Amino acid sequence: MESFTLARIIHVIAVILWIGGVAMVTTVIIPAVKKLKSKEDQIKTFEQIEGRFALQSKITTLLTGLSGFYMLYVLDAWERYLDYRFWWLHAMTLVWILFTVILYVLEPLVLHKLFKEYADKNPSKTFSFMHKAHWFLLVLSLVTTAGAVAGSHGWFFIK
């Protein structure tokens, strides 16, 4: 079971870095960028920070997914997807899929171009929309994390 313990350690650290980064972007970076005077400074600053964070996000979501599915495999816990008491497992998988699609597919193929186009035309509206989207993802991630911690320790909320 040493490999399982290592997988859990990797999983928890990756989630901390990933969701902690989302929290930092949502609560600190976007609000600070929105206060910059010129749209050029807003766009340039956000892209510089986002570019660096995107790599961290891609690595940590990859590690989270690999370690999570490895733990399911080792425990042979696939049937938990059929039990509503493990709603948090469904939520973890959904959040992971959502972020993975955003980071690996939508951002490089669509979102980066849309951001540049809309931020250039109306930076205030663009950053406002982005901020709301990040808040949604952060709240969803935190509810999922709380459910996962509680559920993995036997507290199912639902009997």
* Residue-wise pLDDT tens digits, 64-109: 999 999 999 999 999 999 998 899 999 999 999 999 999 999 999 9
Stronger pLDDT, 50 or 32, i.e. the higher one:
32
Cβ count within 10 A of residue 30 = 23
Q: What is the pLDDT of residue 50?
A: 87
Q: Give kind and range of the element (H or E) at residue 56.
A: helix 39-75
